[in-house]
Amino acid sequence: MPVKYILNACLESFYYLLYASSKPTKLIFLSSPLEQEFSSAAIYRGIDRLYNKGYIHKIRKGKGLLIRFSRKPGFCGRDHTHRLKIENATKKWDGKWRLLIYDIPEEMRSKRNLLRVFISELGFGKIQESCWASAHDFNTPIYDFCREHKLIDCICLYEGKFFAGKNIDELIKNAWDLTAIAAEYTQLIASCKENIETITRNKSKPIECFRVYYEVYSSYQKVIGRDPYLPDEFLRNWPRGKAEEAFRDLAAEVSRVIIPA
């Protein structure tokens, strides 16, 4: 992975700590856990990217610079596709399913693979070969993607309500591996609790806390990336909410240790 993206991920994970803390943070601290991997200039450029996105305020104080979060992060480190999936999932479900069916020639296999990756990141599940489904309306981004990659003539988009055939719960079970995703959330919850206890018991140094935190943060991003964010009607005892709470607790504990008063 390019250094720029690793740095951005580190900075954005740190940004979540600002959300967990009510205190502004001295910019100099950012160099501590990252100084062995990135130059000071690269770190400042990363801070500027967060500032330009509207995620942080920069406050001049003498010769120093403080930063403070300006809005709830919501895992700003994820790409646009991922954020689009989460934003759509916050809307009330209209009861309709969207089907994407495509027939892309073998000589366009690379574009076909790109399309599969794109719709997977949006949370689509494969119903049959070349037939994918979502409970959310992604018609516009899919149309824009296919137009950009010259695939418009190779796809069909449908929307409607489930009528008859295989049981809907069975369809969902086959299209999305919810059992495996739930297990990842459960493991994440356990990891957060274990690390909170370790940090509290061992009085870990700030840089050690950040490294542990960043590892958990990366795991959290992976599992929410796999989560299709289906409507609540199809999620029974879904552990995402408990995972979010556990991670917030970990972030709060880490911020208490590493963010200066």
The string of pLDDT tens digits covering residues 215-253 is: 888 888 889 889 999 998 888 889 999 998 998 889 888
Q: What percentage of the chain reaches a pLDDT higher than 70?
A: 70
**133, 74 Cβ separation under 8 angstroms:** no
Mention every residue, 6+ apart, whose C-beta is less than 8 A from residue 250.
192, 195, 196, 213, 216
CB-facing half-sphere around the CA of 227: CA atoms within 13 A: 28
Q: How is the beta sheet containing 155-160 ordered, strand by strand? A: 125-128, 131-134, 97-102, 155-160
* Range with lowest mean pLDDT among 23-32, 41-50, 173-182, 196-205: 23-32
The tokens describing 86, both together, are: 């989460």
In sign, the C-alpha dihedral spanning 68, 72, 74, 80 is negative
Condensed to tens digits (0 to 9), the pLDDT of residues 70-91 reads 655 555 445 677 778 888 888 8
The CATH classification of domain 3-69, taken from the options 3.40.50.720, 1.10.286.10, 1.10.10.10, 3.40.50.300: 1.10.10.10
**55, 93 Cβ separation under 8 angstroms:** no
In degrees to the nearest 10, what's the CA dihedral of 100, 133, 240, 215?
Answer: -50
The CATH classification of domain 80-175, taken from the options 3.30.70, 2.60.40, 3.30.1120, 3.40.50: 3.30.70
Instruction: Please report, for the chain, the start and end positions of each structural domain, with discontinuous segments joined by +.
Output: 3-69, 80-175, 178-258
Q: What predicted TM-score, i.e. pTM, was given to this entire model?
A: 0.77
